[in-house]
A = this chain, B = another copy of it.
Amino acid sequence: MEIKNLGIDERLFNKISGIAQKMPFYNLLGIRSTAFGPGFAELKVSTRAEHANHLDMGHGGLLLSLADGAMGNAIRSLGILATTVDFSTALMSPAPLGQDILARGQVIKAGKNLIFARAQVYAGDKQLVETRGTFFRMGTIDFEE
Contacts and interface: CB of A to CB of B under 8 A. Distances in A.
Pick from A52, A72, A114 the residue with the most CB of B within 10 Å: A114
Count copies of this chain in the complex: 4
B68 A92 contact: no
A92 B65 contact: no
B84 A132 contact: no
A23 B28 CA distance: 16
A132 B134 contact: no
Given A65-B65, A87-B64, A28 B25 contact: no
Contacts of A61: 25, 29, 61, 64-66, 68-69
Interface string A113-143: 1101010000000010010101010000000
A27 B29 CA distance: 12
Chain A at the B interface: mostly helix, strand, loop or mixed? mixed
A89 interface: yes
A109 interface: yes
A104 interface: no
B94 A90 contact: no
A4 interface: no
A68 B94 CA distance: 14
Given A26-B59, A60-B72, A61-B64, 9 more contacts: A19-B54, A24-B52, A25-B52, A28-B28, A29-B61, A55-B83, A87-B88, A92-B116, A116-B130
